[in-house]
């Protein structure tokens, strides 16, 4: 399968691809995540993509948008407690269901590695929500490891 991956600023295409991810989060964490609403999501992507700090890649098969990765550069200033650090943060990565398990997710992650390399950034971080087993397996397989745990107690 010939897959083309390109950097993009097409916030409409990105918003469309976000629907499945947003709906998974809404179905599993309805108190935190809103249901997908195209207009609102388009506006959010437009704002992010206009910011210099955000970079998006889109995967296409025969001109059909089938996956994306959205990342941004995060700078931690030096403090009394921690050293200064610049990381590339993968905010979202998704491949539409019928194209999953074809190595497209891996290709998108590799774009993020190349980007970090070009920017001389040595660390990539990301997160996913508890229960997203596809994501956990996928990220672990692609070399990511846990380094910080969040806990909560509902009152």
Residues interacting with ligand COA, by CB under 6 A?
21, 92-95, 100-106, 128, 132, 134-135, 137-138, 141
Compute the distance between CA of residue 21 and CA of residue 18 in angstroms, rounded to an integer.
5
Q: Residue 55 or 105: which CB sits closer to ligand COA?
A: 105
* φ/ψ (deg, to 5) at 85: -155, 140
Q: Residue 19 or 83: which CB sits closer to ligand COA?
A: 19
β-sheet bridge partners, residue 58:
6, 68
CB 95 → ligand COA: shortest distance, Å? 4
Q: Residue 52 or 133: which CB sits closer to ligand COA?
A: 133
Q: By Cβ distance, which residue is nearest to ligand COA?
A: 105
Burial 93-105 (b: 16+ CB within 10 A, else e): bbbbeebeebebb
Q: DSSP labels for 110-139?
A: HHHHHHHHHTT---EEE---TT-HHHHHHH
Contact 17, 96 (CB under 8 A): yes
CB 43 → ligand COA: shortest distance, Å? 20
CB 105 → ligand COA: shortest distance, Å? 2
CB 79 → ligand COA: shortest distance, Å? 29
Q: Residue 84 or 97: which CB sits closer to ligand COA?
A: 97
């Amino acid at each position: 399968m010939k897959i083309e991956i390109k950097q993009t600023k097409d916030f409409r295409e990105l918003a469309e691809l976000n629907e499945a991810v947003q709906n998974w989060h809404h179905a599993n964490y309805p108190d935190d995540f809103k249901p997908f609403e195209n207009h609102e999501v388009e506006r959010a992507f437009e704002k992010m993509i206009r910011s210099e700090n955000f970079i998006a890649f889109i995967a296409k098969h025969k001109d059909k948008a089938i996956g994306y990765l959205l990342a941004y550069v995060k700078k931690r200033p030096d403090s009394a407690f921690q050293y200064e650090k610049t990381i590339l943060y993968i905010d979202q990565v998704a491949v539409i269901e019928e194209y999953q398990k074809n190595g497209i997710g891996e290709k998108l992650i590799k774009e993020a590695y190349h980007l970090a390399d070009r920017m001389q950034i040595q660390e990539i971080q990301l997160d996913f929500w508890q229960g997203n087993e596809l994501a956990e397996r996928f990220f672990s397989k692609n070399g990511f490891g846990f380094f910080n745990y969040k806990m909560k107690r509902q009152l």
